[in-house]
Amino acid sequence: MTVSHLADVEYFEAYDQLEVHALMLEDSQRLGSYLAAIRAHDLKDKLVLDVGAGSGILSMLCAKHGLAKHVWAVEAVPGMARMAQQLVQANGLQDKVTILTGRVEDITLPNKMDIIISEWMGFYLLHESMLESVLIARDRFLRAQGRMLPCSARIWAALVEAEDLRLDMANYEDFLGLDLRLVGEQQLAARTAEPRVEEVHGRRILAEPLVAVDLTDLHQLRVEGTRNLEAQLSFRTWRQGYAAGIAFWFDVGFGRDVILKTDPGSPPTHWKQTVVYFGAFPAVESGDVLEANVVLKQSEENPRQYNISVETL
């Protein structure tokens, strides 16, 4: 039968941390929203540009289900572009979909586009996001009155508990008769030093979630419009609890009532939520007001990275 020669163990969790492209395909919320948008907007006879096309799935859906006149699928990674090309051929769509290998900043197109579609969103919307490239593509290629899919985006913020984490720390105080508080403190520091991508259960939320960033119209947003975002948030707690940090998530709108949501109450997506931990667990009473200043600042070294800073007052 089969022979496997295997060199090393992958430490990731099987079925859990899937490869990026499997995630794209297996995240039914994500793809379902795009398909709903493709169907809600009349793409028939339209020229479409797909920015960061990956496997070309959105381009093929535009051609097959949206009956687009032609789709240009731009993908910068040569291996992905080759795969997209093979998939387009396997589906007999080579007359409808053209794969262009390169950055959208560098390519040329024969026409102005009616539609720009792109799945550019990263963790908490902006982490590793391609939004700037999509906005540059808009300025270069979208015709007047052309449509962006999606066309709006919001980042939400919520004050959350982390009782598992807080109580874990308490266990170290008497651990099989030993005082391991030092381990607990180091663990807490290690686990809260970086923002964490995790599934936040709704019951952890301590106060009404607030919109931290509102990009109301991606047709109008300046290319530099997301480099330095700041929000003053005022959370009024619903109940007594222990504040552990601020959870972020996003939604994007496609118009015609199609919204892709990634909040804790919606079906899970691979984006989950992102929590910035305080590293401490201040007690709050019902009705307390906690003011937080949130800054999202694009890294100058790597424009796809953001520094998040949360300051509570």
- Find the part of the chain contacting a copy of itself (CB under 8 A) among 56-64, 105-113, 133-141, 146-154: 56-64
**DSSP-based three-state secondary structure for 96:** coil
Site for a copy of itself in 86-105 (CB under 8 A): 86-87, 90-91
Q: Give whichever of 171 and 240 is closer to a copy of itself, judged by the CB atom.
A: 171
Number of residues that bind a copy of itself (CB under 8 A): 80
Q: Examine residue 127 and tell whether it contacts a copy of itself (CB under 8 A).
A: yes
- Closest Cα partner for 71 from 91, 92, 100? 100
- Residues belonging to the chain: 313
Site for a copy of itself in 11-30 (CB under 8 A): 11-19, 21-22, 25-26
**Contacts of residue 246, Cβ cutoff 8 Å, sequence gap at least 6:** 157, 158, 159, 160, 233, 275, 276, 292, 294, 310
What phi-psi label fits residue 264: left (phi over 0), alpha (psi between -120 and 50 degrees) or beta? alpha
Site for a copy of itself in 65-84 (CB under 8 A): 65, 83
Q: Give whichever of 195 and 241 is closer to a copy of itself, judged by the CB atom.
A: 195
Smallest gap from Cβ 169 to a copy of itself, in A, equals 11
**DSSP-based three-state secondary structure for 133:** helix
- Judged by CB under 8 A, the residue of 53, 60, 160, 229 near a copy of itself is 60
Smallest gap from Cβ 311 to a copy of itself, in A, equals 5
- Judged by CB under 8 A, the residue of 6, 44, 95, 110 near a copy of itself is 6
Contact pattern from residue 193 through residue 222 relative to a copy of itself, giving x for each residue in contact according to CB under 8 A and a dash for the rest: xxxxxx------------------------
How far is the C-alpha of 106 from the C-alpha of 147, rounded, in Å?
21
- Judged by CB under 8 A, the residue of 190, 222, 265, 283 near a copy of itself is 190
163 is catalytic: no
**C-alpha 2 chain-centroid distance:** 39
Site for a copy of itself in 238-297 (CB under 8 A): 274-280, 282
Smallest gap from Cβ 22 to a copy of itself, in A, equals 5
119 is catalytic: yes
DSSP 37-77: HHHHS--TT-EEEEES-TTSHHHHHHHHTS--SEEEEEESS
- Closest Cα partner for 52 from 22, 74, 79? 74
Q: Give whichever of 113 and 276 is closer to a copy of itself, judged by the CB atom.
A: 276
The two structure tokens encoding residue 83:
């795969």
How far is the C-alpha of 264 from the C-alpha of 225, rounded, in Å?
27
Q: Of the listed 19, 75, 105, 128, which one is catalytic?
A: 128
**Contacts of residue 198, Cβ cutoff 8 Å, sequence gap at least 6:** 272, 273, 274, 275
DSSP 150-210: S-EEEEEEEEE--HHHHHHHHHTTSBTTB--HHHHHHHHHHHHSS-EEE---GGGB-B--E
Q: Give whichever of 136 and 197 is closer to a copy of itself, judged by the CB atom.
A: 197
Smallest gap from Cβ 11 to a copy of itself, in A, equals 6
- Find the part of the chain contacting a copy of itself (CB under 8 A) among 110-118, 148-156, 172-180, 217-225: 172-180
- Contact between 199 and 268 under an 8 Å Cβ cutoff? The reply is yes
Contact pattern from residue 141 through residue 170 relative to a copy of itself, giving x for each residue in contact according to CB under 8 A and a dash for the rest: -----------------------xx--x--
Q: Of the listed 19, 26, 105, 119, which one is catalytic?
A: 119
Smallest gap from Cβ 306 to a copy of itself, in A, equals 9
**DSSP-based three-state secondary structure for 249:** strand
Q: Supply the residues annotated as catalytic.
A: 119, 128
